[in-house]
Structure 1
Amino acid sequence: MQAVNELMDAMNMEKQITESADRMLKLQAQSMPQMAQHQEIMSEFFHKYINWESIGEDIKKVYKETFSEKEIRELTTFYKSDIGQKYARLTPTITEKTAKITQGVIMDHQMELQQKIMQKMQGN
C-alpha cells in the first residue's frame, strides 16, 4: 500500500479529484442550462461526496487491484518525471476537452436517438 500512496502523491490525485468534480459540474451546467440556477447546491453536494477523504481509499484499492507493485513503482517513476507531471497536470483539461467532443457528437445526433427510441416505443 505504501507504493500506492507514493503513486497517489506523484499523480497529485487529491487535487485531481477536486478538479474533476469542478469540471463535472461545469460540463453538467453547460449540457443542462436549467440546472445553472442550482449550481451552488450542486457544488456543495459534489464537494461533500466527491473528495479525497470520501473516495481516496477506494481509489487506492482500485490501483492496488489493477497493478502489480512493480507496475505501481514504474508509474510512480513516470509521474515523478517532467513529462509525467505535465501529463498529471493536463489530464483534467484533456478529459474535459474529450468530454466536450463526445457531448457535441451526441448533441449533433440526438434527434436520431430520439427517433429510434420513439420507433421502438411505438412498436411496443
Structure 2
Amino acid sequence: MKNYLILAAGLAFAAPAATAQSTASATGAAAAPISAGQRKAAEELLAATDSEKNLSATIDRMLSAQLEQNPGMKAVEPEMRAYLTKYMSWPSMKEDMVQLYAREFTEKELRELTKFYQTPTGRKTITKMPELMAAGMEIGQKRMQEHLPELQQAIAEKLKSQPPGAVK
C-alpha cells in the first residue's frame, strides 16, 4: 500500500504544471472566470503539446517502473490501472489543465506558446521533454543519495539538542 501511495504521489507531480496547480489551490484563491478565447487558446496549447498522449505515456511509464521495482504488486495492476484511468486520465484532468493554463497565461501568451510548440524546435522540445525530465530526476536522486549522510547527521544533531518530547 505504501508503494501504491508513492506511485500516486509521483503521478501527481508528473502531470504538466502540477506545481503551479497545487500552489494555486493551496492559496485558496478563487478561480477567476476565463474568457472563451482564453479557454480556446489553452485547449489549443494543450493539443499542440500532445498533453493527452504525454499524460497517458507518463502514467504507463510510472506504473511499469513501479511494478518493476515491486513485482508483488503485479497482482493489483488492473485495480491500479482502473484507479489511474478514473482519476489521472486525460478526460478526467483536461478541464483542470485548461483552467490551470488559462489562469497562468494570458490568451496572447497561450497563442505564442502554441506557435512555438508548432515549430520544429518546439516539436523537438515536446519529444525530448520526457527524456530530459527523467534524466533530471535521476541526477537529483543521485545527488540526494550522495549527500544523504549529511542530512541524516544534521537531523541527528538537531534531535540531540532538543528536549525530550519536543520533536514529534
Task: Normalising by structure 2, report the TM-score.
Answer: 0.62
CA distance in 2, matches of 1:22, 1:120: 41
Q: Which residue does 1:12 correspond to in 2?
A: 50
CA distance in 2, matches of 1:29, 1:2: 38
AA partner of residue 17 (structure 1): L
Q: Are the structure 2 counterparts of residues 59 and 107 from structure 1 closer, same or farther at C-alpha, using a change threshold of 3 Å?
A: same
Q: Is 1:91 matched up with 2:126?
A: no
Q: Are the structure 2 counterparts of residues 112 and 123 from structure 1 closer, same or farther at C-alpha, using a change threshold of 3 Å?
A: same
CA distance in 2, matches of 1:15, 1:87: 15
Q: After superposition, what is the alpha-carbon deviation per residue over 1:27-73, rounded to whole angstroms, capped at 9, x for unaligned?
A: 6678xx4x443253685244443221222211111110111101100
| Aligned residues: CA RMSD | 2.3
Conserved 8 A contact 1:17-1:51: yes
Identical amino acids, percent of aligned pairs:
34
Q: Is 1:69 matched up with 2:104?
A: no
AA partner of residue 14 (structure 1): E
Q: Which residue does 1:105 correspond to in 2?
A: 143
Gaps of 5+ in 1: none
Q: Which residue does 1:59 correspond to in 2?
A: 97
Structure 1 stretch displaced more, 55-64 or 15-24: 15-24
Q: Using the TM superposition, give the Cα deviation of residue 24 of structure 1 relative to its aligned residue in structure 2, in angstroms.
A: 3.9
Which structure would you say has the larger RCO, counting Cα contacts within 8 Å and 6 or more residues apart?
A: 1
Q: After superposition, what is the alpha-carbon deviation per residue over 1:60-99, rounded to whole angstroms, capped at 9, x for unaligned?
A: 1111011110110011111111111111111111100000
Q: Which residue does 2:87 correspond to in 1?
A: 49
CA distance in 2, matches of 1:120, 1:29: 37
Q: Which residue does 2:73 correspond to in 1?
A: 38
- Aligned residue pairs, count: 121
Larger Rg: 2
Higher helix share: 1
Gaps of 5+ in 2: 1-38, 163-168
